[in-house]
Each structure stands twice: as structure tokens, then as C-alpha cells.
Amino acid sequence: MAQIDFGGVVEEVITAEEFTLDEARALLEQETVAVLGYGVQGPGQALNMRDNGVRVIVGQREGGASWERAVADGFVPGETLFSVEEAARRGTIIQYLLSDAGQAAMWPKVKECLSPGDALYFSHGFSVVFNEQTGVVPPENVDVILVAPKGSGTTVRRNFLDGSGINSSFAVFQDHTGRARERTLAAGIAIGSGYLFPTTFEKEVHSDLTGERGVLMGCLAGVMEAQYNLLRKHGHSPSEAFNETVEELTQSLIRLVAENGMDWMFANCSTTAQRGALDWAPRFRDAVAPVFDQLYQAVISGQETRRVMEACSTPDYREKLETELNTLGSSEMWRAGAAVRALRPENRRNRP
């Protein structure tokens, strides 16, 4: 493991150079990885492992859109594509990648399909950490492991194809075989991780739920909407408001942050932008700090997971979700966004 200084705190990480793909293949040679669920994380992880020479099968409910997607991706019914239960019986590393609500609903059936010595693999600590809500209590005779890519399933696949990889955290909750750690690292490299950093199931779910609701998605969407609405209220056009709120961030500034850090981005903007950002950043930080405190407490108390389980388990959840997403997408801000994206040079070149 490499010793890396993260801002004055030394952590151990495992890179793809230290734990090579050849080592991962050798460790997984006698394993069959069963990917249960072909929705968000399933496709990217399954396809990356298959491309890396790992024996992969998929478990998914027959007849739905995800089943058809698996077929379109080359998984063959009866050979490499099965029901969730049959795939769980055939696998030795069972990647439990159904939605969190789906994991709770299917667990009584999946649990019966596990064999002693199997590895039960998660990409999120939700079900195990909040097992009083989900009912997911793994049997004692299996390894329980986690590899959590720091990105969407789409990014897992896209980064693999362009050779950049994706950062992932890893954890071992239960080591029955004595090989849980090496199985975890091998799977982590096989799905395309550029490097892996250690965590626990508890820390992963607490940080992940906070991040999703905070800076990564919820806070970002809310702050964008607030600034866009402010500019529109003061007479700025939709194009101007969207460009100054979203387009410049996603197409320019955030890329500079990703490449070299926030300080470098500040240093390479105009002195006017630089001065204003340095002056206002602490005010925004202090304004939202109480909201983040409330968010973290809601996460660790289980309030957020109860909300997820209750909402996602209702029969009409998908219809309600579709309505919420349509409301978001049809707002003026994101209709302006669609128009702005269509005007990007690469999209204008692709017009018929």
C-alpha cells in the first residue's frame, strides 16, 4: 500500500500499479461473479469485469427494461443471464447491486441462495449498517465485503473505456474465509478502480448519503436554482443566467479544479473574480454549515434511510419519481440548459 499525504494526514491507498490487473485475474480465476441488479451500478461493473477477463453472470428480473439492457449488452439468457435467485446460487462472489429498497425486498430469497464461503459484495453500506430497517443480516459463513466507486455507474464504465479509471473505497465487514481482503481488492481492480482507499461500511454510508444530499447533488442543485432565479428576477435573460450559473461551472471552472485544485483555479481567473470568490466563499461556508450539521445528524440517526425505504417501497414510487423529474426538467432553468447544450460546437456539428 502506498503512503499518501492528504493535506497533512497520511493515508494508505492501493493503486492499480501496486495491485495489478494480472494479480486480480489470478485471484478471481476460480470465482464466478454474480452481479445482482442491472440498473445503476450493475452494468458498468459487470461490463468492466467481463472486459477484464473475469467470469461474470447477471441476475435480473426477466422481462423488464434492465433485463433487455443486459441482453443488448451481450449477456445470454440461460448462460450468463439468470433470475436474481439463480445467479446468486451460481455465483461465488455475489455483487448485491439492487437498489437499497430492492435489496431489502429480495433479501429473504437471496439469503437462501448463498453458500458457505461465498463473498457477499456491496457497493454501498446502507443495507448492512441500517439492517434494523432493511432486515439484511448476512449469515456468519460468508465474507461480507464492499467496493464503492466514487461515481455513477455511467462514469464507472466511461472512465474504464477512456483508460482513466475511478476512485473507489473498500471495506471488509466480515472475513469468514480468511481471503476477504484479497477478494475485495481483486474485485475493486477488476471493476476498473484507479486506486482504492480503506473505509468501513459505517463511514462509507454516512459519507455517501451526506455527499449525495450535499455538495454532489442536493446542495448543488439548490444553489444553482437560487442563483439562476436571482438573476432572472433582476432581468437577466435565461441564456445569461444559465451560462453564469451552470455552463461556465461545468464546461470551464470545475475542470480547472479537477486538474489542479481550487487555489490554482482561483489563481488562473481574473483578479476581479479571484478577489470576489475569496471574500464570499467564507460567507457561503458559514451560511450552510448549520444545514450540513442537520443533514449529517439525519444521516447517522437513520432518518434519511427511513425516508428512502418508505418512499421507494410504495407501489407508485416510479410514477411519482417520474413526475418529480419531469417537473425539474421542464423548469425554465433546465429548459434553458437544454438550449445551451444544443448550441455547444460539438452538438451543432452533429446536427442533421
Q: For 140-185, what is each residue's pLDDT tens digit?
A: 999 999 999 998 899 999 999 999 889 999 999 999 999 999 999 9
pTM of model > 0.85: yes
Angle 287-292-293 from CA coordinates, rounded to 5°: 105
In this structure, the chain runs to a length of 352
Residue 350, pLDDT > 70, answer no
Q: Which of 124, 206, 234, 236 is catalytic?
A: 124
DSSP assigned state of 77 = B
Question: Looking at residue 351, what is its pLDDT?
Answer: 60
Q: What is the mean pLDDT of residues 252-268?
A: 92
Confidence of residue 215 (pLDDT cuts 50, 70, 90): very high
Residue 209, pLDDT > 80, answer yes
Confidence of residue 352 (pLDDT cuts 50, 70, 90): low
Query: How many Cβ atoms are within 10 Å of 230's Cβ, its own excluded?
Result: 12
Distance, CA of 48 to CA of 161 (rounded, Å): 8
Looking at 1.10.10.10, 3.30.70.20, 3.40.50.2300, 3.40.50.720, the CATH number of the domain 2-200 comes to: 3.40.50.720
Confidence of residue 108 (pLDDT cuts 50, 70, 90): very high
Confidence of residue 5 (pLDDT cuts 50, 70, 90): confident
Q: What is the mean pLDDT of residues 219-234?
A: 97
Confidence of residue 219 (pLDDT cuts 50, 70, 90): very high
Confidence of residue 6 (pLDDT cuts 50, 70, 90): confident
**DSSP secondary structure string, 247-288?**
IHIIIIIHHHHHHH-HHHHHHTS-HHHHHHHHHHHHHHHHHH
The highest-confidence range among 6-15, 278-287, 335-344, by mean pLDDT, is 278-287
Confidence of residue 326 (pLDDT cuts 50, 70, 90): very high
Question: Looking at residue 137, what is its pLDDT?
Answer: 97
Q: For 82-105, what is each residue's pLDDT tens digit?
A: 999 999 999 999 999 999 989 999
CA distances from 307 to 1, 57, 152, 335 (A): 38, 32, 21, 30
Q: What is the mean pLDDT of residues 290-315?
A: 94
Q: What is the mean pLDDT of residues 3-20?
A: 86
Q: Where do the structural domains in the chain lie, given as residue ranges? A: 2-200, 211-349
Q: What is the mean pLDDT of the chain?
A: 94
Active site residue 124: yes
